[in-house]
Chain A
Amino acid sequence: NAGVTQTPKFRILKIGQSMTLQCAQDMNHNYMYWYRQDPGMGLKLIYYSVGAGITDKGEVPNGYNVSRSTTEDFPLRLELAAPSQTSVYFCASRTQGTEAFFGQGTRLTVV
């Protein structure tokens, strides 16, 4: 059972480039989330989804976009990378009333 899988694990982007962070879960969870973790700060919610076809903004959505075409996948898109988006990104999933499961993270550096 793979749980929540994130790819890539590491990435360096130049300012203005675009990329997609992939997240997939094999637990048939309805809810999926994207968080970012900056040094010395708690995790902040970027976007979330309560099911296929439904997404909504979290606390820090600017500069990001998401889609949820299937239950399993929840990709996060960065359109014009900025140094402020240097961070570690975590994807998480859960079902109603249960604990949240997290992926191993994607460490992104924008130079």
Chain B
Amino acid sequence: KQEVTQIPAALSVPEGENLVLNCSFTDSAIYNLQWFRQDPGKGLTSLLLIQSSQREQTSGRLNASLDKSSGRSTLYIAASQPGDSATYLCAVRLSTGANNLFFGTGTRLTVIP
């Protein structure tokens, strides 16, 4: 069974700092990996999708990398802003089976003005 772990569980940084969120997974036979943002009491907003054949994806100040062989992904946020404060979730889809997403428990990010 796929296990997804996100470390740290919570992170506080001052505004303007660059930061990295980590995601690890146990089964490297993934189809793709997706990073989401979740604001308190809200749904999940997709940030980046990385296919298994890709090494990274970029969107604005966000950059996500994928190393399938080591079972790791990182989400890099440049020049953090208070509006980036949210919980960040990573989820992996396996190459076989139900095609559902396996989620980590998230990293709660607070950017201090």
Contact = CB atoms under 8 A, between A and B. Distances in A.
B43 A100 contact: no
Q: How large is the interface on B (under 10, 10 to 19, 20 to 34, 35 or more residues)?
A: 20 to 34
B29 to A, nearest CB: 16
Interface of B: 4, 32, 34, 36, 41-46, 49, 51, 89, 91, 98-106
A61 to B, nearest CB: 11
A102 B44 contact: yes
Contacts of B103: 35, 42-44
A48 B100 contact: yes
Specify the main secondary structure of chain B where it touches its partner.
Answer: strand
A104 interface: yes
Q: What's the interface size class on A, roughly?
A: 20 to 34
Given A48-B98, A100-B46, 13 more contacts: A31-B99, A35-B103, A42-B103, A43-B101, A43-B103, A45-B100, A48-B99, A48-B100, A58-B100, A90-B43, A92-B44, A99-B46, A99-B49
Given A99-B46, A102-B44, A105-B42, A45 B4 contact: no
